[in-house]
Amino acid sequence: MVELQLNARRGSFQLAIDCQLPALWTVVFGPSGAGKSTLLRLIAGLEIPDSGHILVNGVTITDTRTRRHLRPGPGTPQRGVGLVAQQSALFPHYTVAANVAYGLAKQPQQPRQQQVTDMLQLVGAAHLAHRSPRALSGGEAQRVSLARALAPKPRLLLLDEPLSALDADARDQVLTRLQTWLAEQNIQTILVTHDAADALATEAQVALLEEGKLAALGPASEVLASERTRLLARLQPN
Amino acid sequence: MDWQALFLTLKLATVTTAILLCIAVPLAAWLSLTTSRLRAPVQALTSLPLVLPPTVLGFYLLVLLGPLTGIGRLIASLLGHPLAFSFAGLVVGSVLYSLPFAVQPIVAGFSAIDSSLTDAARLLGAGSIRLVRTLLVPLAARSILAAAILSFLHTLGEFGVVLMLGGDIPGSTRTLSIVLFNQVQGFEYAAANRTAAILLIVCVTALIAIYARPQAILGAQQSSAKVSGGRNG
C-alpha cells in the first residue's frame, strides 16, 4: 500500500496529489506534462516535495513536517524504492553483468552472481551479460536497466515507460513475465504510461493524472471508459 | 645549470600535485553534487587565486604563518621551525595558489556526467563516497589527469608566492623561477636562457602529452573500470 499526500511546485507547474494506492499493480496514466515523471521522482526520493508525506507499507519514507526523508537505495534504512526510467542510464564503463550487480554490493559474491543471472534471464538478456552497454540496442539497454532495478528486490518498483524501445510483442512478453515475478515476490509496482493500450493491457488499478492532479482512480475499464466519454464530450459542439 | 634548484622545483610540483588531487577530487565532488547554500562562497574562495596577485597571497600567507599569529606560533612549536622560509611553507603556498587549476577541470568533468547516471547509482544505494569512487572518478578520468598536469605545470612556473613566502634559500626554497630571476638580475643571459629553456621544454612536452594521447589515456581508464566492474559482477 502506497499513501501519498504531496504538493510540489516546479516553475509554473504545481503537482498536488492525495491518494492511496492499495493494488499490487497500479498504472498511472496521463498526457505528457501531467506530472507523471515528477510524481515518480518524488516517490523515489530523487526530489523532495514542498509539503506532504509518502508512506510505503505503513513506513514513512518522506514527511516534510518531521523532515524525514529516507535516502534512495534498496537497503533497510533506505527507501527500498526502485525506478526504471525511459532513459536506460546504464553505467558505460561497466559490463552488463556489473551494471546489474551494482545494487547488490552488500551481498556475498555467490548469491550475487546467481541473482544477476536470474534477473537477466527474467528480462531475456542473459546472453548480453559480458557486453558493454555501448554495444546494446535501445531495447536491449532497457531490458538490462529493468534487470538492474529488479536485482535488489525493492519494496516498491516504479516503471516510467520502461520498455518503450521494444516492439509490441517483445514488450508484452517481458511485461507478462515481469508481472508474474513481481506478484511472486509481492513487490508493489507503479507503471507510468501515456499509452491507453498499456493501461488497458493489464487489469490493473489506473490512476488518471491531469495537470498535476489526480482526475480519477479505479479499475482500468471504469477509469478509461469515463475518460473516453469525457474526451468525446469535449469534442461535441456546444 | 642549477641542478639542485631543478630537483627542488620538480619535488615541489610533485608534492603539490599529489596533495592537490587529494583535496580537489572530494572538493569538486561536493561542489558538483551539493545543493547547499555554501556552494557559491566555497566556489568563489576556491577560484580566488585566479584573480588575486600572487604577491598578495604570498604576503598574507607570510603574515599568517609567521611568528605574529597564533597559527604561525603553533606550527612553529610543532615543527620546531616557522613554516615561512621552508620547503613545507612553499608546499602550503603552492597548494593554495594552484587550487583552482586542480578543482575547476574536475568540477567541469563531474558536471558533464549525465545526471541520470548519478540518479541510477543513488537509487541502487550508492552513498556519496561510492558514487565518487565508482562513477564520477572513472567517467571524469581525463579531467582529473588534465587537472594534475595543469597543477604540476602551474607550480613549476610559480614565482610570486615562492619569493614572498620562501625567499631564496638554496636547497630549501630556491626554485628554477627564482634562479632565472637571479640570473637576469645578474645579467647572466646565457645561463638564464638555459634555465628558461628547461621550463619551456617541460611545459610544452606535458601539454603535448595532454593533447596528443587523450584517447589512449581514456582507453586505459576504461579497461581498468571494466575489470573492477567484472569483480562487482
Give the model confidence (pLDDT) of B172-225 as tens digits. Answer: 889 999 999 999 999 999 999 999 999 999 889 888 877 776 554 444 444 333
> Cα distance from B127 to chain A (closest Cα, Å)?
9
Half-sphere exposure of B180 toward its Cβ, with a 13 Å CA cutoff?
19
- Within 8 A of B130 by CB-CB distance, chain A residues are 105
Query: pLDDT for A6-26, tens place per residue?
Result: 999 988 899 999 998 888 889
Query: pLDDT for B25-49, tens place per residue?
Result: 999 999 999 989 999 999 999 999 9
Length of chain B: 233
- Within 8 A of B116 by CB-CB distance, chain A residues are 85, 87, 89
pLDDT band at A201 (very low <50, low <70, confident <90, very high): low
Indicate whether B194 belongs to any domain: yes
Q: How far is CA A126 from CA A97, A115, B102, in A?
A: 9, 12, 42
Indicate whether B30 belongs to any domain: yes
Nearest to A4 by CA among A62, A45, A50, A47: A62
Here the CATH number for the domain that contains residue B15 is 1.10.3720.10
Cβ contacts of residue B161 below 8 Å, gap of 6+?
A: B54, B55, B57, B58, B61, B90, B93, B94, B96, B97
What pLDDT score was predicted for residue B25? 96
CA–CA dist B179, A59 (Å, integer): 69
- Within 8 A of A72 by CB-CB distance, chain B residues are 122-123, 125
Contact of A116 with chain B, judged by CB distance below 8 Å, is answered with yes
Enter the ipTM.
0.88
What is this structure's pTM? 0.83
Indicate whether B169 belongs to any domain: yes
Contact of A78 with chain B, judged by CB distance below 8 Å, is answered with yes
What pLDDT score was predicted for residue B227? 33
Domain tally, chain B: 1
> Would the pLDDT of A196 be above 80?
no
Mutate to test the interface with B, among A91, A146, A157 (most CBs of B within 10 A): A91
Indicate whether B211 belongs to any domain: yes
Q: What cell does A200 get?
A: 488497458
What mean pLDDT is predicted for residues A58-77? 86
Indicate whether B36 belongs to any domain: yes
Mutate to test the interface with A, among B113, B114, B124 (most CBs of A within 10 A): B124
Q: Write out residues 30-69 of A within 8 Å (CB-CB) of B.
A: 44, 46
Indicate whether B62 belongs to any domain: yes
Indicate whether B23 belongs to any domain: yes
Beta bridge partners of B137: none
Q: Which domain holds residue B47?
A: 3-226
> Cα distance from B21 to chain A (closest Cα, Å)?
22
Indicate whether B232 belongs to any domain: no
- Put simply, the answer to whether A74 touches B125 (Cβ < 8 Å) is yes
Q: What is the DSSP letter of A135?
A: G
pLDDT band at B160 (very low <50, low <70, confident <90, very high): confident
Sheet holding A13-21, edge to edge: A68-69, A59-63, A51-56, A2-10, A13-21, A213-219, A205-210, A25-29, A188-193, A156-160, A81-84
Q: What cell does B28 get?
A: 569538486
> Cα distance from B161 to chain A (closest Cα, Å)?
41
